[in-house]
Amino acid sequence: MRTIIVSIALIASALIHAQHLGNFNNQVSTMEISRANIATADMGNAGYINPHNKAVFRPNLQPSNILNLNLRSLYNIEATDYTAVFNINQLGKTAEETQQLMKDRINAVKSNLKAQGFNGQYAIDMISFVPQYEIEVTKKLFSKTYTEVPVGFELQQNLMISYRDDADFQKILEACASAEIYNLVKVDYYVKNLEAIYKELQTKLLAEVKSKKAYYEALGFNMSDYDIHMADQKYYHVPKDFYKSYVASNNLSIDALKQKKGVTRIKKPISYYYDPISYAGYDLVVNADIQKPVIQLGMDLSLRYIPKPEKPVAPVPVKEPKPKVYVISPQGPVDIKQLPNS
- DSSP labels for 106-139? HHHHHHHHHHTT---EEEEEEEEEEEEEEEEEEE
137 alpha carbon, distance to own chain's centre: 55
Q: Which of 313, 312, 302 is nearest to 66 (CA)?
A: 302
pTM: 0.66
Instruction: Count the neighbouring beta carbons within 10 Å of the beta carbon of residue 209.
Output: 15
| DSSP-derived secondary structure letter, 58 | -
> Would the CA dihedral through 99, 105, 106, 108 be positive or negative?
positive
Measured at the alpha carbon of residue 82, what is the angle toward residues 185 and 33, in degrees to the nearest 5?
A: 40
Question: Which stretch of DSSP H or E encloses residue 74?
Answer: strand 67-77
Is residue 10 helix, strand or coil?
A: helix
Main-chain phi, psi angles of 222, to 5 degrees: -95, 105
Q: Is residue 10 part of a domain?
A: no
Residue 123 has pLDDT above 90, yes or no: yes
Please report whether residue 314 resides in a domain: no
The reply to whether 323 falls in a domain is no
Residues 151 and 272 occupy one common structural domain: no
Q: What pLDDT, on a 0 to 100 scale, did the predictor assign at position 230? A: 94
Task: State residue 197 phi and psi, 5-degree precision.
Answer: -65, -45
For the chain, give the percent of residues with pLDDT over 70: 69
Please indicate, yes or no, whether residues 42 and 185 belong to a single structural domain of this protein.
no
More confident residue, 50 or 258: 258
Residue 324: its H or E element = strand 324-328
113 and 184 share one domain: yes
Owning domain of residue 216: 26-79+192-307
In the listed set 189, 212, 227, which residue is the last one of a domain according to the structure? 189
Side chain identity at residue 298, one-letter code: G
Confidence of residue 297 (pLDDT cuts 50, 70, 90): very high
> 2 pLDDT exceeds 60?
no
pLDDT of 108 > 50? The answer is yes
Same-domain status, 91 and 123: yes
Q: Which of 74-88, 113-127, 206-220, 264-278 has the lowest mean pLDDT?
A: 264-278
**Do 58 and 125 sit in the same domain of this protein?**
no
Looking at residue 319, what is its pLDDT? 77
pLDDT score, position 144: 73
Q: Residues 75, 201: contact at Cβ < 8 Å?
A: yes
The pLDDT tens digits for 6-26 are 444 444 444 444 334 445 554
Question: What pLDDT is recorded for position 99?
Answer: 93
CA dist., res. 130 & res. 110, Å (int): 26
Q: How many angstroms separate the CA atoms of 125 and 63, rounded?
A: 59
Residues 6+ apart with CB under 8 A from 188: 82, 83, 85, 238, 240
Q: Are residues 168 and 38 in the same domain?
A: no
196 and 303 part of one domain: yes
- Average pLDDT (143-161) is 82
Per-residue model confidence (pLDDT) at position 33: 46
Least confident of 57-66, 81-90, 254-263: 254-263
Q: Are 114 and 249 in a shared domain?
A: no
Q: What's the confidence (pLDDT) of residue 32?
A: 47
Question: Which 3 state secondary structure label does DSSP give 51?
Answer: coil
Same domain (yes/no): 168, 199: no
Tell me if 296 is assigned to some domain: yes
The rounded distance, in Å, linking the Cα atoms of 277 and 52 is: 10
Gap between the terminal Cα atoms of the chain:
117
**Do 184 and 88 share a domain, yes or no?**
yes
Q: Residue 82 pLDDT > 60, yes or no?
A: yes
Same-domain status, 131 and 196: no
CA 10 – CA 7 distance, rounded (Å): 5
Domain count, the chain: 2
Element (H, E) at 4: helix 2-18
pLDDT at residue 14, as a whole number: 44
- Give me the torsion for CA of 83, 89, 93, 96, rounded to 10°: 10
Best CA proximity match to 172, nearest among 116, 123, 124, 126: 116
Residue 316 lies in a domain: no
**pLDDT class for 340, splitting at 50, 70, 90?**
low
pLDDT value of residue 57: 63
Helix (H, G, I), strand (E, B) or coil at 16: helix
Q: Give the residue with greater pLDDT, 304 vs 31.
A: 304
Q: Supply the pLDDT for residue 136.
A: 66
In a domain, 303, yes or no: yes
> How many whole angstroms from its chain centre is CA 166?
21
In a shared domain, residues 125 and 184: yes
pLDDT recorded at residue 121:
94
Confirm whether 328 is domain-assigned. no
87 found inside a domain: yes
Distance CA 30, CA 289 (A): 25
- pLDDT of 53 > 50? The answer is no
- State how far the Cα of 185 lies from the Cα of 35, in Å rounded to an integer: 8
Q: How far apart are CA 247 and CA 164, in angstroms?
A: 33
Which residue(s) pair with 86 in the sheet? 159, 184
Per-residue CA distances from 215 to 210, 211, 212, 220 (Å): 9, 6, 5, 9
Does position 39 have pLDDT exceeding 60, yes or no? no
Q: For 162-194, how does the pLDDT look when each residue is reduced to its tens digit (9 = 90+)?
A: 999 988 999 999 999 999 999 999 999 999 888
Any idea what the CATH number is for the domain that residue 156 is in? 3.30.70.2970
**Is 242:93 a contact under the CB 8 Å cutoff?**
no
